[in-house]
Amino acid sequence: GWGVELALPLAALALNASAAVAPPREGDVWRVDFSRVEWRVLPNATTGGYSKDPAYPAEDNWVWAPIGEVAMHNPERWGIVEFGGELGEEEAPPPPPPPVRYPSWPARAAA
């Protein structure tokens, strides 16, 4: 397995959001997802770089909160992050899911 530690500019992330404030308050809930696209490659002796492996024409997509398809533009399917208080506090119960922005979304996904 692997892990990652991120330092994100929360003020920049909240800049164009309709409901998010920065810095986030305790109990605030944001929808987020992180994506990594991986192409299988072969070393290219001519250039010293890499070339896409023709045996694997499609890329692999890795996400933190799987959304069931390659479609990162569906925030209703992203993961949920709840901002807590001071470090070391007791774990809070999971928050209720945020309201769905587009109630007809399940019908779009089924089409």
> Helices in the chain by DSSP H: which ranges?
10-14, 105-110
The answer to whether 62 and 36 have CB atoms below 8 angstroms apart is: yes
* pLDDT value of residue 64: 86
Query: For each of the chain's 111 residues, which pLDDT tens digit applies?
Result: 666 777 888 888 888 777 788 888 888 888 888 888 999 999 999 999 999 999 999 999 888 888 888 888 888 888 888 887 776 566 666 666 666 666 665 555 555
> Helices in 10-87 by DSSP H: which ranges?
10-14
